[in-house]
Amino acid sequence: MQQERLEKYARLLVDVGLNVQKGQEVIVRCGLDQPDFTAMVVEECYKRGASRVKVEWSYMPVSRLNAIYRSLETLSEFSAIEEEEFKRRLKKDTAIIWLDSEDPDGMTGVDDEKMAAANKAKFPFVKPYRDALENKYQWCIAAVPGREWAEKVFPELKGADAIEKLWEAILYTARVDDDPIKAWDRHNAELLKHCKLLNSYKFESLEYKSKNGTDFKVGLNPKGLFLGGGEETLGTKVYFNPNIPSEEVFTSPMRGKAEGVVVATKPLSYQGKLIENFSVKFKDGKVVEVHAEKNQELLEKMVTMDEGASYLGEVALIGYDSPINNTGILFYNTLFDENASCHLALGRGFNNCLEGFENYSYEQCKELGINDSMIHVDFMIGSRDLEITGVTKDGKRVPVFKNGDWVI
């Protein structure tokens, strides 16, 4: 891969993704797959004025061994070191970037029930810090190729050839060629246009239908807003892009208002395993039935992680004719596959999807209908024939999507 293109990508992630501020601390979370690129990102952070850049390395084979051999008690621990790190992040206004390269099958053989129980036990200690950090710091999820991931996406290739091809796909979907900064300025402006138009209708609900069996209605929050592209931190008002790439316009629906069946159109990579060919049925806003040809038990465990895991936290609209979908690649990675077409997310909603959310406490946002959970898991439902209709409070029906793409 050409050095110049990688440097452009690193600069894009730091300048547009995180928008690192002078004197700010940055955490880079990454695997061992691309150390040279990680060093580029670290250098770009310092060039932007970062005061301290900490790299937190991980290695999925070791994570898998920990999950297999450690006891439930030790997996459930919230250590003093972890707590101090959260406190430091709160004090220092730390920005975080994730460079995702994980193997989609990397956690095969792990006991799902043990991991779910450990996460549940640890969550009450993490939650107060997570809530306190909500919307108050910049974060960005992006991707770099790992060998196992690349060979999963391109099974006809091996090693360096597969990695090179995955690099090409990542850089294309991230709009890296030519001037990526200007490209993202234009892209954010286009997403904002869709948001403004959707918000002007004040839809009460959205109805989804496609020939694969999706027949679904979701109620929207009367105070809800559609967002997309970049967003601002509270207080400091720093504009950043949390996902690169991103094609979505999204909102958090009204908790408890979802009816019908949605059929997934792409596999879901969850906790290092793939859930494939699945559907989800809702009644009174809650998941009441799931079916999957592969890893059904993991899907069932996911939607029962806590009370909020069986409710929706997000509905996202993405045209089927999107750069990611047009690659024809199944990435086996939520960052990409969720941005290929329309998706839903089970679990935690977004407080900033409420108009005037900065004036509400976290508990008040929940009372106003934003779902809360320890999970937030996106799954794709977009298809070439998907139709979405917006319904206003006075019953007016407005076509939003037809044949999988925007018509509004």
Tens digits of per-residue pLDDT, 279-301?
Answer: 999 999 999 999 999 999 999 99
- By C-alpha distance, which of 359, 381, 368, 355 is closest to 254? 368
Structure token pair of residue 222: 């009367």
Least confident of 141-150, 171-180, 285-294: 171-180
Local confidence band at 272 (pLDDT 50, 70, 90 cut-offs): confident
β-pairing, 227-228 vs 25-31, is: unpaired
Q: What is the mean pLDDT of residues 104-123?
A: 92
- How many residues would you count in the chain? 408
Does residue 125 register a pLDDT over 80?
yes
How many C-beta neighbours within 10 Å does residue 33 have?
22
How far does CA 261 lie from the centroid of its chain?
Answer: 22
Indicate the SS3 state at residue 347: strand
Question: Closest by alpha carbon to 315, among 279, 362, 262, 274?
Answer: 262
pLDDT bracket for residue 322 (50, 70, 90): confident
pLDDT of amino acid 273: 87
Query: What is the rounded CA–CA span in Å between residue 70 and residue 37?
Result: 32
Average pLDDT over residues 248-263: 98
How many CB atoms neighbour CB 202 within 10 A? 13
User: What pLDDT was estimated at residue 241?
Assistant: 97
What token pair was written down for 23?
Answer: 């004197």
User: Can you state the percent helix, strand and coil of the chain, rounding each to 5?
Assistant: 40, 25, 35
Type of residue numbered 120: K
Distance set, CA 21 to CA 24, 29, 43, 87, 287 (Å): 5, 19, 14, 20, 42
- Kindly tell me the sign of the dihedral angle through the C-alpha atoms of 186, 190, 195, 201: positive
**Cα(205)–Cα(395) distance, integer angstroms:** 10
d(CA 172, CA 208): 30
Q: Which residue is listed with tokens 């996406």?
A: 153
CA torsion sign for 7, 9, 10, 15 is positive
- Residue 114: is its pLDDT beyond 70? yes
Q: pTM, whole model, 2 decimals?
A: 0.89
- What is the reported pLDDT for 134? 87
In the chain, what percentage of residues exceed pLDDT 70?
Answer: 100
Residue type, 262: V
CB 344 within 8 A of CB 262: yes
Q: Among the listed ranges 49-58, 166-175, 317-326, which one has the minimum average pLDDT value?
A: 317-326
Sheet order of strands, 52-58 included: 52-58, 25-31, 95-100, 139-143
Residue 271's pLDDT is: 84
Planar angle of CA 108, 139, 379, nearest 5 degrees: 45
Mean pLDDT of 340-361: 95
Q: What is the predicted pLDDT for the residue at 297?
A: 94
Percentage above 90 pLDDT, the chain: 90
Run of H or E residues at 119: helix 112-133
Closest C-alpha to 273, from 295, 292, 296, 291: 295
CATH architecture, domain 3-173: 3-Layer(aba) Sandwich (3.40)
pLDDT above 70 for 240:
yes
* Confidence bin at 155 (pLDDT 50/70/90): very high
At 327, the pLDDT band (50, 70, 90 cuts) reads: very high
User: What does the alpha-carbon distance between residue 328 and residue 342 come to, in Å, rounded to a whole number?
Assistant: 16
What is the rounded distance in angstroms from the CA atom of residue 47 to the CA atom of residue 20?
10
Tokens coding 244: 């690169």
Residue 1: the pLDDT is 64
What's the chain's average pLDDT? 95
pLDDT band at 207; cut points 50, 70, 90:
very high
CA distance linking residue 400 with residue 242, whole number of Å: 25
Domain spans of the chain? 3-173, 202-399
For β-strands 258-263 and 273-283, DSSP reports them as antiparallel
Q: What is the pLDDT of residue 110?
A: 93
C-alpha to C-alpha distance for 228 and 235, rounded to whole angstroms: 20
